[in-house]
Copies of this chain bind each other. A is one copy, B any other.
Amino acid sequence: MTMTTRKKNYLRPIDFKHGHIDMTHGAGGRAAAQLVDELFARAFDNEYLRQGHDGALLPFPTGGRLVMATDGHVISPLFFPGGDIGCLSVHGTVNDVAMSGARPLYLAASFILEEGFALADLKRIVESMAAAARDAGVPIVTGDTKVVEKGKGDGVFISTTGVGVAPEGLCIDGRQARAGDVILVSGTVGEHGVAVMSLRESLEFETAIVSDTAALHTLVQAMLQALPDPTALHVLRDPTRGGLATTLNEIATQSQVGMVIEEALIPVLPQVEAACELLGLDPLYVANEGKLIAICAPEVADTLLAAMRAHPLGSGAQRIGTVTQDAHHFVQMNTRFGGRRVVDWLSGEQLPRIC
C-alpha cells in the first residue's frame, strides 16, 4: 500500500475519538486508503511520501556506503513513562543505523494492526512517531499497514527500517575491539527496561523512572567530529535487549577478545538500582534505548569522553573498563567489594517485549 493521500472524497471523516480498527482497514480498498490519507500520510507528510508509490525515490549522496538496519517493535504496554511504541520505533532504528557511524537518511514503517484497536491510541502513536522522526531529521518515506483479527495481534506492532550513509573508510563494527582498547558508556544504564517493568508490575516509586528512549545519531556525529582520526573509534553499539552485559558479550565474541569492567564505574541511577532489587533484575541486563557503548583506542579515550560529555545525550558518559586478551572471550567485572566475577550472557528470558 502506498502511503500517500489519494484526495478521494470519503463519505465521512474517520472518527478518531471513538472508532476502532476493523478488517476493512487492511483490505486494500477505500477504507484502507482513507486511514492512510487521514492518519499516516497527514502525520508523516514529506515530499517522498507524497510520491504515492510503493517504493519511494530518494536522493543518495555520491561516494558513501549505504547502511541498512531493521527492527521490529512489540513492546508491551504500548505507552510507558518517557515514550511509546511510536517514538521508540523511530529511535531504535535511527540508533541501529547510527551505530556504524552512518548518518541516518530515511525510514520505512510497517504497521501490523489488531482488529478492535482504538483509533485514538493509534493516532497518538503515529503522531509520536511523526514527531520523533521530525526531531531526528529522518523522514518516514514509505510505509505499509496490515490488519489481523482480534486475538491474532496485540494492538500494534511496528517494524521500522532505516537507511543511512557512511563515509568510505570508516569501519566501526563489533569485530573491531582490540586488547588495550577502552570501553565507554554514554550514561546511566537500565532506565528503559525498569520503566516498562515497573509499569507492568504496577510498582510506584518516589522518584519516577522514565525510559531513556532517544535518537543517538547526533551524539555519534559529535563523537566522530571530535576525533582527528575517526578510525580510532572501533565499536559503537546500543545496549538494548539483554542490556550492557549481553551487548559486551556479543562484542567480545565477535572481536575474539576479553573485557574487564569496573562495577563501581558503571553509572546506574539509585532509583533504578532500588527498583531492580525489588523486581529481581540486574541493571546490567536491562534494556536501554538511549545509550551507547563506545570502544576506542586508549589514546583517544579522553577526547572521546569529553565529546560525549559535551553532548546532552552523553552528559553522564563514563569510562567503564578495558578490552583484554582472553581466549575464552569472557567479560569479567571487578566488583565493588574487590572481587572479580564473570558477567555471562543472559541465558533465559529476563524481560520479554521490552522493545
A residues adjacent to B (C-beta < 8 A): 1-2, 4, 6-8, 22-24, 26-33, 51-60, 62-74, 96-100, 102, 106, 108-112, 141-149, 151-154, 157, 159, 161-164, 166, 173-175, 237-238, 240-242, 246, 250, 253-254, 287, 345-353
Cβ-defined contact, A242 with B28, below 8 A:
yes
Cβ-defined contact, B60 with A65, below 8 A:
yes
Jot down 18 A-B pairs with beta carbons below 8 A, ordered by A.
A2-B174, A6-B250, A28-B242, A29-B347, A32-B241, A32-B242, A52-B254, A53-B173, A54-B96, A54-B100, A54-B237, A57-B67, A60-B60, A68-B163, A74-B148, A112-B157, A112-B159, A152-B154
Which residues does chain B contribute within 8 Å of A71, judged by CB atoms? 54, 110, 144
Copies of this protein in the assembly total 2
Which residues does chain B contribute within 8 Å of A350, judged by CB atoms? 27, 29
Chain B: CB-nearest residue to A4 = B254
Cβ-defined contact, A174 with B52, below 8 A:
yes
Q: How far is the CA of A54 from the CA of B109 in the complex (A)?
A: 17
Q: How far is the CA of A100 from the CA of B55 in the complex (A)?
A: 6
Cβ-defined contact, A33 with B352, below 8 A:
no
Given contacts A54-B99, A100-B57, contact A69 B142 (CB under 8 A): yes
Which residues does chain B contribute within 8 Å of A111, judged by CB atoms? 72
Cβ-defined contact, B146 with A74, below 8 A:
yes
Cβ-defined contact, A58 with B62, below 8 A:
no
Q: Considering residues A7, A74, A98, which has the most beta carbons from chain B within 10 angstroms of its beta carbon? A: A74
